[in-house]
Structure 1
Amino acid sequence: MTSSTPPTESQAFASLSLPDSMLDNLANLGFEQMTPVQAASLPASLDGKDVIAKAKTGSGKTLAFALPMLTRLDPAMYAVQGLVLCPTRELADQVAKEVRKLARFLPNIKVLTLCGGMPIGPQIGSLEHGAHIVVGTPGRIEDHLRKQTLDLSRVNTLVLDEADRMLDMGFFDSISNIISKTPGSRQSLLFSATYPDSIATLSYDFMREPVTVEIDTQHTQTVIRQRVIQVEKDQRDEVLVGLLSHYQPASCVVFCNTRQSSEAVTDILRAYGFSALALHGDKEQKERDLILARFANRSCSILVATDVAARGLDVDDVEAVINYEMTRDAEVHVHRSGRTGRAGREGLVINLLTASEAHKLDGIQKELNVELTVEPCAKWLSIPLAPYKAPMVSLQLDGGRKNKVRPGDILGALTGAIGLQGSQVGKIAIFDFHALVAVEFDASRRALDGLSEGKIKGRSFRVRRLR
């Protein structure tokens, strides 16, 4: 089931099979009409079905998963019956606060927040007194499971909130481990702003015939705009620099046909001050993994790639694709273009075309069933140089999976003693012997100094900024 229908008169909360006491509490809190994600997901979730809901932040998703969770609670049983996993402490605190308000119609419901960056002792003490609902981050939930201070055997509702963000931060293994400690009979509710392959994999592993709900109030269809610019071979570099200076895409893939071209173009862009990395088949797998991780975490804005190397690219928000060299295969062109304009966003593809490549354009127009206008390049030869910084910075720690370093350990260190906000921390990638964490540019010095001077799991790790 997929729905994007806005609420109508008949989609008031009173139209649902909810206890009168819950409806009264909702009315007192000012909730009368359902938002689109609530109207689309609540009938299925209240019926006990697993639900996958794709909806943006601010769409009312907390209430969408809290109501079915609260209807299944037994207030007389002091055991964890609802578990909500969140990517950051800030979101967990926000969710717990909202759930407490929604639970006012029930007597003595205890909602406990378990997050990293906070002392674990008081949390253990609170768990000893019992809790009905736990809202927490994967790393700290795993800590309690390891210490056997948290029992999830009575959980009947499991919620993954902002699941895509948790997977971006490297919590796939942690989430899978936590889920394995819950009963197979539980209801599972997954909320995510996007639906990458990793979400599909996770949902396939732990959900039972989930109802899928997709709410997108803006772009309902993918729109990819194609531009073709006529260039001489010796003008490609200058036009490329002009395009990047003008559009300044936070994420851009520049396609070349050979390894030599990709390296040469990368060297030119870096010399002009752009954040660029080359990706081609001659790179060692470890280096390729690191380059892809840096592009995905937005600490590198421009990826200069060959077609073979880019097959491992799984990034939903590539703003632009520039074909520095046109491919002779129209199907490959479509594949290149498909790197942008994902998840309902508008995409931009710019093609640099030499006179000798006119036949390639004919094949592409037939494949796309469109007629493309060829523009002169004069405008792009006079754009002032304007290199720009990537929005994030990658910090590499010389400790990884083999050192038992987990994403939650790094996130806890950054948001705990170092004092960063969860929103300032980006994707976290854990490799065998090192880890990569993205932090906002303005917070990178503080994060680097804090991680270098502090400890993770009682150990000091060498930390460096990747450039």
Structure 2
Amino acid sequence: MTDTSFDSLPLNSAELSNLERLGYKEMTDIQQKSLPIALSGADLIAKAKTGSGKTAAFALPMLHKLNAKNYYIQTLVLCPTRELAQQVAEEIRRLARSQHNVKVLTLCGGQSIGPQIGSLEHGAHIIVGTPGRIQDHLRKNTLDLSRLTTLVLDEADRMLEMGFVDAVEAIAGHSPSSRQTMLFSATYPEKIEALSRRLMKDPQVVSVDAQHSDTHIEQLFVEVERKEKVNTLLKLLSHYQPNSTVVFCNTKQETKEVSHAIYQAGGSSVALHGDLEQRDRDQVLVRFSQASACVLVATDVAARGLDIDDLALVVNYDIPRDVEVYIHRVGRTGRAGKSGRAVCIYSPNEAYKLEAIEDYRKQPISYLDPTELDESKPLSRPEWISLELQAGKRDKIRPGDLLGALTAQGGIQGSAVGNIAIYPNVSYIAIAKSDANRALKMLTEGRIKGRRFRARKAH
């Protein structure tokens, strides 16, 4: 037995069996350092980046001490964005499978508050939400945190960047001082340190480097005049032919312009920025995660919580203002030991920023000559199409219902059905492009759970 084995933790046999079924073989660095502390009940500050396994690092301890027979809110997880909250809630549900009847509710903005109030009236054990919406419920007295035993602040640095520091403190004030508090953050600026002093009791601090080693990620830098940035990006996409790319821009306007340029060049691109309505944000993220769009152009805050396991290319269309943001962006590729590639396009007046990146990485910069890029190939096109069905969790729709409707009676082959994402009022199904029209006809003309629903291609 090694220290990286989950067997070395004080977890019961059902919890360990569930971890094994879910494919949790060995602890990641952050899990190895934080789980013994968190399971002991101590307050914890953990510096860890996205993709390090931090969700399990806080979810396992809170589930271990949760008593499902006590039907009141025992845990609150605060996240900066709705997308991250949804991902965290889903992973908690998976990790909670070893326990019966654990109810996890997601409370975020961008959704009607009425149904959330109705769900709260039926009770819950774990709440995962964004600060603004949690405050809305506290003001309406529809959320009771008086018996909270665990408070988790996930991606605390982003919550502070987005101006949630006062909200976080106010929310914590509605919970008992005897609670356990766990704070996870990719960076640890002074504001986080000050917040931890106000909210926590003798916290133990652990820190791990990014899971993404530079040995797995080829990092290249290409200098061009600012007016040539778009053309250089298109050349990169043609040269490398990646099937999944995230392009990071510093402004919302740039995401729109760059995404449009990729579309005009024959590529498949979606833009993610703060001006989108929540439903449109969901659809953009789903299309990219379902591989029905090859390129996601996004700002940092908009892409927070994005979790794609096999990202072929990351492009920094602008050098970010903070070197740690650069590291975080690049760390989206090359996960789990896979090879990855990151290219940074910069103009001459941004060259001074490279020194900070070089110092941080402790490695010399590798440069790319733009004249060596082969721009003769067409941009990658997706092999999947996302179909949108006007039915979701509120209609009691499950993935098996959709899979069955498509594959029953010699219809679509199971291999032609990809990722399925189900939201409260809508569902998205990835279908192989060659089967998309037939699948759409089956969904619109057939019945699911005895009912007919509208469907269309998501675009």
Identify the residue that residue 354 of structure 1 maps to in structure 2. Answer: 347
Map Cα deviations across residues 223-278 of structure 1 (whole Å, 9 max, x no partner). 11101111111111111111111212111100111000000000110111111000
Q: Structure 1 pair 357/418, CA: closer, same or farther in 2 (3 Å)?
A: farther
The alpha-carbon deviation at position 427 of structure 1 amounts to: 1.4
Deviations 1:28-82 (A, max 9, x none): xxxxxxxxxxxx99xxxxx9993444999xxxxxxxxxxxxxxxxxxxxxxxxxx
Match of 1:344 among 324, 334, 337: 337
Q: Tell me which residue corresponds to 2:375.
A: 383
Q: Quick check: 1:314 aligned with 2:314?
A: no
> Relative to structure 1, is the Cα distance of residues 2 and 292 closer, same or farther in structure 2, using a 3 angstrom cutoff?
farther
Please give the alpha-carbon distance, in whole angstroms, between the structure 2 residues aligned to 1:178 and 1:422.
29
Structure 2 residue 320 is the aligned partner of structure 1 residue 400 = no
Counterpart CA distance in 2 for 1:237 and 1:320 is 16
Partner of 1:460: 452
**Contact 1:231/1:376 (8 A) holds in 2:** no
Partner of 2:26: none
Paired residues of 2:242 and 2:380 also in contact (CA < 8 A): no
- Partner residue in 2 for 1:292: 285
What SS does structure 1 have at the residue aligned with 2:257? helix
Instruction: Tell me the residue number matched to 2:144.
Output: none
| 8 Å CA contact retained: 1:239, 1:377 | yes
Inter-partner Cα distance in structure 2 for 1:171 and 1:363: 36
Note the 1:200-349 alignment, pairs <5 A.
223-349=216-342
Q: 1:449 to 1:172 in 2, by over 3 A?
A: farther
Match of 1:101 in 2: none
| Whole-angstrom distance in 2 between the partners of 1:413 and 1:54 | 27
Equivalent residues, number = 284
Distance in 1, Cα, partners of 2:326 & 2:302: 15
The aligned counterpart of 1:446 is 438
Matched, 1:368 2:361: yes
Residue in 2 aligned with 1:180? 100
Change (3 A) 1:440 1:375: same
Contact 1:398 1:461 in 2 (8 A): yes
Residues 48, 412 of structure 1: alpha-carbon distance in 2 compared, 3 angstrom cutoff: closer
Give the SS at the match of 2:337. coil
| Structure 1 Cα separation of the partners of residues 92 and 408 of structure 2 | 22
Q: For 1:287 and 1:48, locate their aligned partners in 2 and report how far apart those are by CA, in whole Å.
A: 39
Deviation at 1:354, TM superposition (A): 1.2
C-alpha distance in 2 between matches for 1:334 and 1:412: 43
Q: Distance in 2 between matches of 1:413 and 1:173?
A: 25
1:186 is matched with none
Structure 2 counterpart SS, 1:312: coil
The 1:171/1:308 distance shift into structure 2, 3 A limit, reads closer
Deviation of the 1:402 alpha carbon: 1.7
The yes-or-no answer on 1:50 pairing with 2:42 is no
C-alpha change, 1:48 and 1:447, in structure 2 (3 Å) is closer
Provide closer, same or farther for how the CA distance between residues 177 and 338 of structure 1 changes in structure 2, counting only shifts above 3 A. Answer: closer
Q: Summarize deviations over 1:409-438 as a string: whole Å, max 9, x none.
A: 111111213622322211111112111111
Q: Deviations over 1:165-213 (max 9, x none)?
A: xx9xx8996996896389xxxxxxxxxxxxxxxxxxxxxxxxxxxxxxx
| Distance of aligned partners of 1:407 and 1:173 in 2 relative to their CA distance in 1, 3 Å threshold | farther
Over the residues paired in the alignment, what is the CA RMSD in angstroms? 3.5
| Structure 2 unmatched ranges of 5 or more | 8-12, 24-86, 103-211
Alpha carbons of structure 1 residues 261 and 49: separation in structure 2 relative to 1, 3 Å: closer
What's the TM-score, normalizing by structure 1? 0.55
* Distance in structure 2 (CA, Å) of the matches to 1:309 and 1:181: 33
Higher Rg = 1
Counterpart code for 1:449: K
Question: Which segments of 5 or more consecutive residues in structure 1 lack a partner in the other structure?
Answer: 5-39, 42-46, 57-166, 183-218
1:431 and 1:408, CA in 2 relative to 1: closer, same or farther beyond 3 A? same
Distance (Å, rounded) in 2 between the aligned partners of 1:428 and 1:251: 18
Contact between 1:418 and 1:446, CA under 8 Å: does it hold in 2?
no
Match of 2:132 in 1: none
The answer to whether residue 423 in structure 2 is matched with residue 431 in structure 1 is: yes
Separation of aligned partners in 2, 1:178 and 1:433 = 28
Counterpart of 1:325 in structure 2: which amino acid?
D
Q: Report the secondary structure of 1:374's partner residue.
A: coil
Measure, in 2, the Cα distance between the counterparts of 1:415 and 1:171: 27
